[in-house]
Amino acid sequence: MNNLYKFLDWLIRMIGYSLILILTSLLFTHTLYIDKEYFGLWSFLASIIIYLLNKTVKPILFRLTIPITGLTLGLFYPFINLIILKIVSLILYPHFQISGILYALFASILISILNIFMDHVLDKLKRKEN
C-alpha cells in the first residue's frame, strides 16, 4: 500500500507539473511551445523528463556552477532551470520547444515559483491526511 501511495503522489505531482507547463506555454506563447495535437501528452512527457533531469543532471550542474552562483549572489540559479528546459526541448523537439533567452528565463522562473507553490500545497495536504 505504501508503494501505491508513493506512486499516486508522484503521479499527482507530474500531472500538476504538466498543468504548470501548459499554463506557462499559454502565457509565453512565443517562448514556450507545446504541440497542440496532443497537448497533455507532450506536457506530461516533458514533466517526467524534467523530473528525471532534476534528480540526475541538475545536482551536477549546480555543483559545477557554485562559484558563478556565489559570485552572482544566487542570480545564476534560474539559468540552471533554463538549461534543464533547453535539454527537454532538445529531447522532445519539435513537440516541446523553448526559444529566446530573456523571456525563456522569465518562463523558467514562473515554472519554478508555481512548482514550489504546488509542492507546498500538496505537502500541506499530505500532512493533513496523516
Contacts of 46 (CB under 8 A, 6+ apart): 18, 21, 34, 88, 92, 96
Is 127 part of a structural domain of the chain? no
- Write the pLDDT tens digit of every residue in 69-127: 999 998 899 999 999 999 999 999 999 999 999 999 999 999 999 999 999 999 998 88
- The pLDDT, as a whole number, for residue 130 is 65
Is 22 part of a structural domain of the chain? yes
1: pLDDT strictly greater than 90: no
Is 80 part of a structural domain of the chain? yes
Is 130 part of a structural domain of the chain? no
Q: Which residue has the cell 549546480?
A: 62
Mean pLDDT of 55-61: 96
Is 44 part of a structural domain of the chain? yes
Is 91 part of a structural domain of the chain? yes
129: pLDDT strictly greater than 80: no
The range of the structural domain enclosing residue 54 comes to 2-122
Share of the chain above pLDDT 70, in %: 98
Q: How many domains does the chain have?
A: 1
Is 74 part of a structural domain of the chain? yes
